[in-house]
Structure 1
Amino acid sequence: MTGDDCFELHFATALRPVTATESVVVRRTEATGPGGHPIYTDETGIVRAEISDRCEVRMMQTSARQELRRPVACRRPMVQIVRQRSSTAA
């Protein structure tokens, strides 16, 4: 797995304080979105997003009645960052 294979998307929660978020990990697929950037999806296939190399996110509908929520943050998973740093140090 390379550094471009997954992201964490963080969403604000309605049931908790304003600072609380829920996160989901999305992995790169073979598809590209309307902006020409890779499409990432979670393991269920419900969360689907086009993510640019600058972490700009465009959420994609996966069903007709889905109400898309905009993520409040997009970042690389921490484990992946540590692996990247250790592989460049070697």
Structure 2
Amino acid sequence: MEDYPESYELVFQAPAVEDDVVIVRRTERAGAGGYPVYEDESGIVRAEISDRGEVRMLASGGHQMLKTPMLARPLTP
């Protein structure tokens, strides 16, 4: 999984003036599609991100209402 970015900004459309941005970092896990799983510092926001930047949000607990981000931006070190 070395060819994948270490972290991404996930941009979610928010009803407020500014969009919500969550930074997620690559974990050692892979999702059902075989792509790396990324998560935020709290471990609540989790996503499998493909090599084409496609995002599949993953539940980290019960009763979550998962929203797909508008954009996943890779962050450069």
TM-score between the two structures when normalised by the length of structure 1: 0.77
CA-based RMSD of the aligned residues comes to 1.6
Distance 1:23 1:65 in 2: 22
More strand by share: 2
Identity of aligned residues (%): 45
Q: Is the 8 A contact 2:10 2:24 kept in 1?
A: yes
Match of 2:45 among 17, 42, 47: 47
Match of 2:26 among 17, 25, 28: 28
Instruction: Give the drift of 1:47.
Output: 0.2
Distance 2:23 2:9 in 1: 4
Distance 1:35 1:12 in 2: 25
Distance 1:71 1:39 in 2: 15
Q: What are the equivalent positions in structure 2 for 1:1-90 lying under 5 Å apart?
A: 4-14=5-15, 16-17=16-17, 20-77=18-75, 80=76
Bigger CA radius of gyration: 1
Instruction: Give the drift of 1:59.
Output: 0.0
Question: Could you tell me which amino acid in structure 1 is paired with residue 11 of structure 2?
Answer: H
* CA distance 1:57–1:66, change in 2 (3 Å): same
More helix by share: 1
User: Number of residue pairs matched?
Assistant: 75
Higher RCO, Cα 8 Å, sep 6+: 2
| Structure 2 segments unaligned to the other structure (5+ residues) | none
| Structure 1 segments unaligned to the other structure (5+ residues) | 84-90
